[in-house]
């Protein structure tokens, strides 16, 4: 069942943008994004709040992280929690808003690309569309060309406007995925 919900985010009022949510699949306990592992715990993904939320022991400039969260694991959010955030987006500036990484690895170094590449286990594909001012139907059609009728979440970015539409899409995966440690070469034949 597909659920359509008005998005009170940046495009509300300006475009009547809608958020498409395949709620029946995404909120089902046996759907892969909400799967229960062998220990009976639902799969959850690393989350935090704000652009500066880091639990790393050492900051990018080489200094020790003085925050009390330094060296501690990040919080986690389930697939159902992510779907609920898309359905009812919090009204916070980006600098303080909740974020998530589509990986189950949530230790103190989870915001590092290199660490996620080595240790991350991913259950969602993510898509950011910030250019070309495409409409929701165009984004959905392009996704359908690639993933067919697979479940997806499509929502507008908070900074989107009628003149500069920006979209995010999340696609829950049927199985987990690790990032290859070697470069992937795509075929030149199309």
Rounded Cα distance, 154 and 96, in Å: 22
- Of 96-110, 132-146, 171-185, the least confident: 171-185
Residue 61 has phi, psi (to 5 degrees) of -85, 5
For the beta carbon of residue 110, count every other beta carbon within 10 angstroms.
Answer: 23
Instruction: With beta carbons less than 8 A apart as the criterion, state whether 155 and 9 touch.
Output: yes
Rounded Cα distance, 122 and 116, in Å: 9
- Of 6-20, 44-58, 93-107, 176-190, the least confident: 6-20
Share of the chain above pLDDT 70, in %: 72
Pairing state between β 3-6 and 75-78: unpaired
pLDDT in tens, 45-90: 999 999 889 999 998 899 999 999 999 999 999 888 888 888 788 7
pLDDT in tens, 77-89: 988 888 888 878 8
End-to-end CA distance of the chain: 34
Rounded Cα distance, 72 and 121, in Å: 19
Is pLDDT larger for residue 188 or for residue 129?
129
Domain-wise residue ranges, the chain: 3-177
């Amino acid at each position: 069942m597909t659920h359509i919900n008005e998005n009170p985010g940046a495009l509300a009022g300006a475009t009547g943008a809608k958020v498409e949510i395949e709620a029946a699949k995404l909120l089902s306990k046996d759907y892969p994004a909400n799967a229960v592992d062998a220990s009976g715990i639902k799969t959850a993904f690393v989350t935090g709040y704000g652009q500066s939320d880091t639990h790393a022991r050492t900051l990018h400039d080489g200094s020790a992280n003085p925050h009390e969260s330094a060296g501690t694991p990040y919080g986690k959010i389930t697939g159902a929690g992510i779907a609920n955030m898309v359905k009812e987006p919090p009204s916070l500036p980006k600098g303080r808003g909740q974020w998530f990484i589509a990986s189950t690895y949530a230790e103190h170094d989870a915001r590092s690309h290199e660490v996620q590449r080595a240790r991350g286990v991913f259950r969602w594909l993510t898509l950011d569309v910030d250019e070309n001012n495409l409409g929701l139907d165009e984004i959905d059609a392009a996704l359908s060309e690639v993933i067919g009728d697979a479940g997806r979440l499509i929502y507008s970015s908070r900074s989107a406007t009628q003149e500069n539409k920006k979209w995010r899409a999340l696609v829950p995966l049927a199985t987990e995925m690790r990032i290859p440690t070697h470069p992937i070469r795509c075929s030149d034949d199309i």
